[in-house]
Amino acid sequence: MIFFINATMQKQKSGIEHAELKRFELFNAHHVDSRFLIRDWDPALHDNTKLAGIPDENLIGMFDYFQQATHVKPKRITIDDLDFGVLNIHADPDLPNNRSLVKTAQGQLVARVNYREDHETVRSVELFDGFNNLYRVDNYDTRGFISLSQMYTPDNKVGTEVWQTPTGHVVLETFNRADAQGKVQKSGWRLTDADGTIRVFDTIEELTAHFFNLMNEKFWSVKQPNIFILDRSHLGDWGLLQLKKPAYTVMHLHNSHAGDAQEPMHSILNNNYEFAMNALDSYDAVVSATHKQTHDVEARFHPIAKLFTIPVGVVSQELLDGPRVPVKDRQYGKVVAFARIAWEKHLDDLVRAVGIVHKEVPEVSLDLYGYADASDNYRARRAVEKAIKEYDLDGVVTMKGYTTEIDKVENQAMMFGLTSRMEGFNLAVLEAISHGLISFSYDVNYGPNEIVEDGVNGNVVPFNDYKAMAAAMLKVLKDPKLAQKYSTGAYDSSERYSPANVWNAWQSLIDDANQIWPTKLAAAHMSAQEGVKQ
């Protein structure tokens, strides 16, 4: 079995989730069985995975597994289905807060019932005692059962959390205690197996390692190895090294391994990869999305682990074979960017570049597609808004929000801009070239400076030089023949990421896993025999 390990599968997906879904489609097309292993608790997990095209048969959530809830027939829970254990109560709608307040005849608050987007299905229930103290919150899975109950202490802090089965049996508990600095921390996890065995873990990392071992055992075969692909390293980098039986473990780099991507050989490590990069040889393989990152990992770490370069994006054969939109039929001067409005995307620089261009070519405009990162009080969005004001670009630059209508947008636009501080691949620029957009990118590691080929499908300009980007855009806007050359080059260069080419790269990794499997089995058998002798 092949596992893709992630934290969750949110509705608004990051590049990692999009990469996993592309991989899932590719594996399905070649009849290779795979499963998503989801580590974090998420009451909306099955709604989101269903929307993403992941059947329950290909999904194993850690909390679902322990809660015996991997396959549950959904049912809708409304306030009429709830029993508060109190007579003569009534519910007052609180529409602005999308909830109802349940009170006694005397006006005593019994509960707050919070709803989902439809304003009727129960999301959670907050329960109050006779002194108006919140003492418990029941959180409902979208499939219609109480999944997590949080017990509150007298000082209004979450003390104990319990997860239960759809039939109401408690199977997992965690305990929150204040440390010496007064910060509330989880002090342990208590798991009750289906057979009644009780197991205690100090941390969620230990619980995760136990889960990985259960999955390895469940799908074990001497004929071929289980392959674990770790897509979010920080939640499983240690756990995968605790497998009791052998497997083929893969560390997948979705971002720069270095804290400063422009100094990959000497800067401190990206904290998300620090443990993994210092334990590379404990894994069987390391996957990078670009040849440049593979080269840098080899040069800096000299790992024994096998290195593979496998793009995280795939351009569908349908798109490769589809009609090409000539530049003359596109909106002249329309620049688009698909990215979270976040600090690392540095979109305020893209606005500055467009601002410079706009002074010479008034027809130019920029549409930003992506939701705003709330970090530091929406710091990145405020920077974009400041740049818009600075260059007087109201009505020229528009923040469009998140969209899934990529084909429609990119078949009408002319150019794509990318000004990131760091990247791991950037699926958005891959989608751009596959739609014939002329791309302009900073020389940033990793991905954009490999996907964008300078002078072929656009231009790669010096890092952090928005004036150079503006000059490159102006050159294209003033030369229709050059613009068409770059657009044609974009369509042609996307062939590198065809399903066949990307699958061949994955097939090489699977072949390596199968090739070394007899050796790993023999080594495990020898180790077990030595353990018996001791």
Task: List pLDDT tens digits, range 343-374.
Answer: 999 999 999 999 999 999 999 999 999 989 99
How many domains is the chain partitioned into structurally? 3
Q: 10 Å Cβ neighbour count for 410? A: 23
Mean pLDDT of 374-389: 96
Q: Answer yes or no: is pLDDT of 184 > 90.
A: no
Confidence tier at 45 by pLDDT (50, 70, 90): very high
Mean of the per-residue pLDDT values of the chain: 94
pLDDT single digits (tens) 123-144:
999 999 988 999 999 999 999 9
Q: Answer yes or no: is pLDDT of 533 > 70.
A: no
pLDDT single digits (tens) 427-450:
899 999 999 999 999 999 999 999
Secondary structure, 3-state, 126-144: EEECCCCCEEEEEEEECCC
CATH number at residue 467: 3.40.50.2000
What does DSSP assign to residue 419? -
Question: Where among 309, 339, 355 does a domain terminate?
Answer: 309
In angstroms, the Cα distances linking 347 to 284, 372, 471, 521 are 37, 11, 17, 50
Which domain range does residue 33 map to? 2-71+207-309
- In a shared domain, residues 395 and 470: yes
Mean pLDDT of 175-183: 82
Mean pLDDT of 526-532: 66
The secondary structure element, H or E, covering residue 145 is: strand 145-152
**Residue 417 domain-assigned?**
yes
**Residue 529 domain-assigned?**
no
- In a shared domain, residues 292 and 188: no
Q: Answer yes or no: is pLDDT of 237 > 60.
A: yes
**Residue 511 domain-assigned?**
no
Strand arrangement of the beta sheet that strand 198-201 belongs to: 89-94, 99-104, 109-115, 122-128, 134-141, 145-152, 158-164, 170-178, 184-192, 198-201
- In a shared domain, residues 265 and 292: yes
pLDDT single digits (tens) 191-228:
999 889 999 999 999 999 999 999 999 999 999 999 99
